[in-house]
Amino acid sequence: MKNQMKLRSGATIPEITRREADKRDYLTRATLSMLHLMPSGDPVAFETAADGKIIYYFHPERVVEAPPELWYAPTARKDTYTLESGTVIERMSVKRAATCGYYTEDRLRAMHYEVIEEPVAFTYKADKSVLFMYDKKTAKRMPLMCVKCGGDVRYKKKLCRACYEEELAVRREEGDALRAAHYGMDPRRVLFFDLELTGFYDHDEILSITIVDGAGELVMDTLVRPVHTKKWPRTEKIHGITPDMVTESPTLAELTPRIKEIFENADNLIAYGVSTDYSHIKKIYETDEEREALHQKTRCAANEFVRYATEHLPEQEHASLIDAMEAFSIEWQGVPHSSTADTYACREVWNVLFPHYYA
């Protein structure tokens, strides 16, 4: 079985001989250069030269004309260099080479690439010695090293596993101390809330609102009749609220005095993903000062779970409310994605994260 090579693009190409390449009319870089052409796609095959370098072959239908500035120089003398494989490459200035994506071996190494293909161009150093240039597209990407110790490959956050675990231990200790602290909050003045909406944007309207205090008492739970929106098929599939269900419900304007009264007597307002809920509930306030006062009371349970998961569940990929409930093995009270169930769920997650939050 012939050798194969997997390219960075994910494609796999076979190793062939020069004779096989000629039969298929494949072109080397040197041939393309002489024809003033450039590859427009990945190589289709490769050959290993005597010096161990790779010679790539390209399909004649996957090439494009090279820009004139890369080859048209009527007064310039065209210098060439013959490699051990017999491939002839042309002299090219470093600036022109960079426009093609060609760099010296030292430059590629600095960019964390390893040269495996033979040179595609050359120039002369000040001492007249030859300086070869290679194609970055076909160089092999080397593992990036830890930015802290530089002694091992990166694992997460640009750190090797040892450095990452060391920093994680520090963050975990700080996070655990924050979560285990005694905050002395009055459970009656800590409110959890959730909204269901007609859509996913700021201009969408509220369809339901649920508010529960820290003691688990239901403070408000009502559907809301939108004023401008008549149908919401996309979000209806998520929360199950239909237009018929809100026909006799109060509007947000009718509920505003009571909502303001409830929020006025709260020390904290907690939601899971509070930015979305805040962006809609703030509309009941008329001044920036009132909105800022409301914002100062808000706390985000999702952010706190993300921090906990980062410190204790590093393999946790998602951080939705459902993920948090599963992580803490908490049973749902109601159907997920309804404002009632989500509000109680948010309270349960918060209580696990902050077991000494209340006096």
pLDDT single digits (tens) 150-180 = 888 888 889 999 999 999 999 999 999 999 9
- Predicted confidence at residue 138, as pLDDT, reads 87
pLDDT single digits (tens) 194-242 = 999 999 888 899 999 999 999 999 999 999 999 999 999 999 999 999 9
C-alpha radius of gyration, the chain, whole number = 32
pTM of the model: 0.65
Question: Is pLDDT of 2 > 80?
Answer: no
Comparing CA positions, the residue from 253, 251, 300 lying closest to residue 276 is 300
- Predicted confidence at residue 70, as pLDDT, reads 59
Of the candidate ranges 81-85, 328-332, 345-349, the one whose mean pLDDT is the lowest = 81-85
3-class SS of residue 66: coil
pLDDT single digits (tens) 280-337 = 999 999 999 999 999 999 999 999 999 999 999 988 889 999 999 999 999 999 999 9
